[in-house]
Chain A
Amino acid sequence: MGLEKYKDEIAFCCKCGGCRIGSEHAIGMPICPTGERWQYDSYYAAGRFENAKVLLEGGLEWTDRLIDRYFTCLKCGACEEHCYEEVGLHPVKVIEEVEKELVKRGIGPHPKQHYKNHTRFFERYGERLKKAAKEMGKSAETMYFLGCTLECYDKEISDVTEKIIQASAQSFVVSGRDWCCGYPLLHTGQIEQAKGIVEDNVNTIEGLGVRKVVFNCPHCYRIFKFEYPEILGKKLNFEAAHTTVHFSKLIESGELEPKYPISMRVTYHDPCLIGRRGGKIYNPPREILHTIPGIKLAEMDRRKGETWCCGAGSRVRVAYPDFAKWTATQRLKEVESLGVNTLISACPICKINFTDAMKAEGKNIKILDVNQVLAESLGIK
């Protein structure tokens, strides 16, 4: 089993507790949403390590009791940020291996995270992809990859993003509709079920001759950039970039010029999958905000590597909606404590989850994507 690979790592967990709380900007603040919610060690990385160890030793049975202890994990990487840096271990990888094994044994994932419940996106859709590629009609050096979240839930973000790319006068093409990266499967242990999607996606894009793919969705971005090469065992023939990096470079080179003032005091939420789990893209979104006249950025204590996750990742929003809402609400309280009423993120899933929590709690916080603010300052409607 894949977990065996991490046997040595598991043996070296020292239970220091670094997976629980912040130690820099967020000193003393909780960083692990599942641990903070359930409080038992079995919901923190250290306890998940310990249970993995005993599972390997044969002292604990593989039962459905493990589902909640592992599939609640958001894979936000807050634990790993400390654990790897200070002790050299990879808790998220260990958690992922336990999940894979649970799937293999027919125990996991949580029924609502199951492949079969998401056929709209997760069918091996060679035909669907061919159609999507056909919808594009043409090819170009750069592709803007919509992903399924934007397409289904927040077309406003994808519309303004498309217009920003247009404004930069770059030659580009927009991916077809309903094109899923496979993230919901890959982050719930359903690797075997996702492999076909990964292969189809890469073959299709490479077949189009695209050299660079830009993503709004940090989930798609991380999967393409870091996980596809690992799964396929090869380097991709195209570059994967997040729109915040792409646009901040265009601003720097003068190809985009945000000039219309937006008088707003805002705070920025670092999405986990372009932050600590996605190449540490912390500055580009902030640089974009800083170039917009009138915007004043107030920082939360839990930021960058110590960000508190929005609560939606790894299909937790679907399987554990109360927990996802609770996690987002904790973040909104932090926003309110700064005295600002606008929260900006760079992830459509964060935006959806925060917006739902905000409505449920009756709070008055404006939730925006950084591209929406940028578009406004560029004069794009």
Chain B
Amino acid sequence: MVARSEITKELAGIVSEKWVSTDPEDIIPFSRDNMTWVHGTGMADYAVMPSNTEETQEVVRLANKHKIPITVVTWGTNTTGIAIPRRGGILLIMRRLDKVLEINEDTMTATIEPGVTHGKLIKACLGKSVRPLHIIGCPCGSALAIPFYGVNAFTSRYGSDRIIAIEMVLPNGELIRTGSWANPACEKMNPYNKHGAGPDLAALNYANWAFGAFTKGILRLAPRQEVSDYILVGFHELEPLLRGMQKVEKRDITLGANFVSRGYYARVIAPDVEMLKDPVKLEKFRGSLPPHILQFYVAGTAEQVELYKRLIEQDISQYNGVIMHLTGRMKEKADLQAWGTGISENREFIVPIEETPSWGTIPVVLKMRELMEELYKTNDVRDVVTGLPAEIDYWGQSVERCTQIFYNQSMQFDPRKPETIERARNCYFELFARSIPEGNAMPAFGAQSPEYMRIVNEIKKLVDPNGIWGGILPIEMPF
């Protein structure tokens, strides 16, 4: 085994001394994310920041030679433990690769490096005829990494398939490009074909960095519209909300639709952050909102937007939805577009939550909610702020014209109370164990048939013969 000091020296030879650290002060912050309470920590031995593709390749080759595990991270805004270096080794931090290489208004694409945040991409598109495809997205996270796992990605009108092609360093140090980018002769002619002449290898990366480190990527953009606006609808029950959303979505007139519980919504749009820490005020504010809130985002010419709004109102009235009218700062904060350009959505974290992302159809969502109700009851889940029996908080999105729904229920816990952390962890596993047989597709990795898993594992072995690459899921599901 090569001494740690030797490895450090070799790494410094690649990226220079400044960009490699073995100091615990530099490594500890990457050892946790906001779900560490539930998923645990992991300390890397080296934090390394390459500045370009070549340095990334060299670091990976070095790791491969010495069989040192690698975990890749860009901005560390993960909420699922996926970029925690559980096996130690090298933490490959990709944030120094942060250039917007091209915004192409003709092909409506952005060619970017992984360190480009969603916010930086928004800025790069300002004043142009295009904008990032996804309406909602954490402005602080990597615009390239988010699309693979980040579920804030979905828009209705332009689909959810944002990644066109990527350039990535494989665990053996080789560099590949996907789609038509894989063919050097194609590059000048048309680098923007997702499949090229073969399968889309970018899609193998179910989660961030699953099979290598991205060094560049081409993202699909959407046209910037003349007018954009949103419409809010309140519901008393979840099922009519979902049915109403589906009816509107099938008209193909929205940019996107999402839905939230009132607790979640209260935290996001509250005019005063102090209010959210006050049990009485919070309860009063929450109580003033309808239990379920649906939001449509519309854009087009002024006439189109007016027409879309009328059609939406007409459709949702059949499901007893009531149009909500907010004013002042709350109206501004409730703008779906603002969620994607600001950080308001982070207010949900004032109450720590265990996220339980799920995929499915309307019956699956309803089943998930029913299971969560049962888990809340049996575990006596309490609101962290008010101490009262907690309401189920959730948010969800229509995907591909509401043929699928992304649904994320939030299990509250108090990071200062270990028993609540343990409870959240148990609920998390139980919810998934019971929802997968009901059709929940999201956490199913590892629960697929042996034939499927054999192929995935063979691919992994092919690109990562020494098994140095970080895991695909943060924790093993006990199925």
Contact assessment for B28 and A51 in the assembled complex, using a CB-CB cutoff below 8 Å: yes
From the candidates A11, A14, A28, A44, name the one contacting B123 in the complex (CB within 8 A): A28
**Smallest Cβ distance from B398 to chain A, in angstroms?**
25
Q: For residue B28, which residues in chain A have a CB less than 8 angstroms away from its CB?
A: 42, 47, 50-51, 54, 59-60
Verify if A66 is at the interface (C-beta below 8 Å from B).
yes
Contact assessment for A16 and B346 in the assembled complex, using a CB-CB cutoff below 8 Å: yes
Within 8 A of A (CB), among B204-247: none
Within 8 A of A (CB), among B347-380: 347, 349-350, 352
Q: For residue A15, which residues in chain B have a CB less than 8 angstroms away from its CB?
A: 32-34, 76-78
Verify if B199 is at the interface (C-beta below 8 Å from A).
no
Cα A104 to Cα B25 with chains together (Å)? 20
Cα A69 to Cα B79 with chains together (Å)? 25
Q: For residue B352, which residues in chain A have a CB less than 8 angstroms away from its CB?
A: 12, 14
Verify if A46 is at the interface (C-beta below 8 Å from B).
yes
Within 8 A of B (CB), among A139-170: none
Cα A40 to Cα B118 with chains together (Å)? 19
**Smallest Cβ distance from B126 to chain A, in angstroms?**
8
Q: For residue A65, which residues in chain B have a CB less than 8 angstroms away from its CB?
A: 23, 25
Verify if A261 is at the interface (C-beta below 8 Å from B).
no
Q: Pick the interface stretch among B53-61, B273-281, B297-305, B399-407.
A: B273-281
Q: For residue A39, which residues in chain B have a CB less than 8 angstroms away from its CB?
A: 19, 49, 93, 95-96
Verify if A226 is at the interface (C-beta below 8 Å from B).
no
Verify if A300 is at the interface (C-beta below 8 Å from B).
no
Contact assessment for A17 and B29 in the assembled complex, using a CB-CB cutoff below 8 Å: no
Contact assessment for B33 and A28 in the assembled complex, using a CB-CB cutoff below 8 Å: no
From the candidates A47, A50, A86, name the one contacting B343 in the complex (CB within 8 A): A86
Cα A310 to Cα B123 with chains together (Å)? 23
Nearest chain A residue, comparing its CB with the CB of B30: A41
**Binary CB contact string for chain A from 4 to 26 against chain B (1 if under 8 A, 0 otherwise):** 00001001111111101111100
Q: Pick the interface stretch among B137-145, B182-190, B461-469.
A: B137-145
Nearest chain B residue, comparing its CB with the CB of A68: B25
From the candidates B24, B138, B347, name the one contacting A60 in the complex (CB within 8 A): B24
From the candidates B25, B77, B96, name the one contacting A16 in the complex (CB within 8 A): B77
Cα A80 to Cα B138 with chains together (Å)? 18
Q: For residue B155, which residues in chain A have a CB less than 8 angstroms away from its CB?
A: none
**Smallest Cβ distance from B342 to chain A, in angstroms?**
4
Within 8 A of A (CB), among B12-67: 19, 21, 23-26, 28-34, 47, 49
Verify if B416 is at the interface (C-beta below 8 Å from A).
yes
**Smallest Cβ distance from A58 to chain B, in angstroms?**
13
Verify if A339 is at the interface (C-beta below 8 Å from B).
no
From the candidates A12, A27, A29, A84, name the one contacting B349 in the complex (CB within 8 A): A12
Q: A17-B77, A21-B117, A29-B123 are in contact. Are A87 and B139 (CB under 8 A)?
A: no
Cα A21 to Cα B346 with chains together (Å)? 14
Verify if B120 is at the interface (C-beta below 8 Å from A).
yes
Q: A51-B28, A54-B28, A88-B277 are in contact. Are A16 and B140 (CB under 8 A)?
A: yes
Q: For residue B117, which residues in chain A have a CB less than 8 angstroms away from its CB?
A: 17, 21, 28
Verify if B121 is at the interface (C-beta below 8 Å from A).
yes
Verify if A82 is at the interface (C-beta below 8 Å from B).
yes
**Smallest Cβ distance from A56 to chain B, in angstroms?**
12
Q: A23-B341, A40-B26, A51-B28 are in contact. Are A17 and B75 (CB under 8 A)?
A: yes
Contact assessment for B34 and A66 in the assembled complex, using a CB-CB cutoff below 8 Å: no
Cα A8 to Cα B384 with chains together (Å)? 13
From the candidates B93, B95, B349, name the one contacting A14 in the complex (CB within 8 A): B349
Q: For residue B96, which residues in chain A have a CB less than 8 angstroms away from its CB?
A: 39
From the candidates B120, B123, B140, B276, name the one contacting A88 in the complex (CB within 8 A): B276
Cα A367 to Cα B241 with chains together (Å)? 58
Q: For residue B274, which residues in chain A have a CB less than 8 angstroms away from its CB?
A: 88
**Smallest Cβ distance from A308 to chain B, in angstroms?**
14
Q: A20-B140, A41-B30 are in contact. Are A86 and B123 (CB under 8 A)?
A: no
From the candidates B139, B276, B416, name the one contacting A27 in the complex (CB within 8 A): B139
From the candidates A11, A12, A22, A51, name the one contacting B350 in the complex (CB within 8 A): A12
Verify if A85 is at the interface (C-beta below 8 Å from B).
yes
Within 8 A of A (CB), among B370-424: 415-416
Q: For residue B273, which residues in chain A have a CB less than 8 angstroms away from its CB?
A: 84-88
Q: For residue A27, which residues in chain B have a CB less than 8 angstroms away from its CB?
A: 119, 122-123, 126, 139, 341
Q: For residue B121, which residues in chain A have a CB less than 8 angstroms away from its CB?
A: 28
Question: Which of B30, B138, B141 has the most chain A CB atoms inside 10 A of its CB?
Answer: B30
Verify if B344 is at the interface (C-beta below 8 Å from A).
yes
Within 8 A of A (CB), among B75-116: 75-79, 93, 95-96
From the candidates B76, B123, B341, name the one contacting A17 in the complex (CB within 8 A): B76
Contact assessment for B119 and A23 in the assembled complex, using a CB-CB cutoff below 8 Å: yes
Contact assessment for A14 and B344 in the assembled complex, using a CB-CB cutoff below 8 Å: no
From the candidates B93, B122, B140, B277, name the one contacting A18 in the complex (CB within 8 A): B140
**Smallest Cβ distance from B59 to chain A, in angstroms?**
15
Contact assessment for B141 and A17 in the assembled complex, using a CB-CB cutoff below 8 Å: yes
Q: For residue B78, which residues in chain A have a CB less than 8 angstroms away from its CB?
A: 15
Cα A352 to Cα B34 with chains together (Å)? 41
Closest 8 CB pairs of A and B: A17-B140, A28-B119, A47-B29, A41-B29, A14-B349, A28-B120, A28-B123, A14-B34
**14 interchain pairs, CB-CB under 8 A:** A12-B350, A12-B415, A15-B78, A16-B343, A20-B75, A28-B119, A29-B120, A39-B96, A40-B21, A41-B76, A50-B29, A60-B24, A84-B273, A87-B347
Beyond the given A15-B33, A42-B25, A60-B24, please list 18 additional residue pairs across the A-B interface where CB-CB is below 8 A.
A8-B416, A12-B352, A15-B77, A16-B77, A16-B346, A17-B77, A17-B140, A21-B139, A27-B119, A27-B341, A39-B49, A42-B28, A42-B29, A51-B28, A54-B28, A60-B28, A86-B347, A88-B274
Q: Identify the A interface with B (CB < 8 A).
A: 8, 11-18, 20-24, 27-29, 39-42, 44, 46-47, 50-51, 54, 59-60, 65-66, 69, 82, 84-88
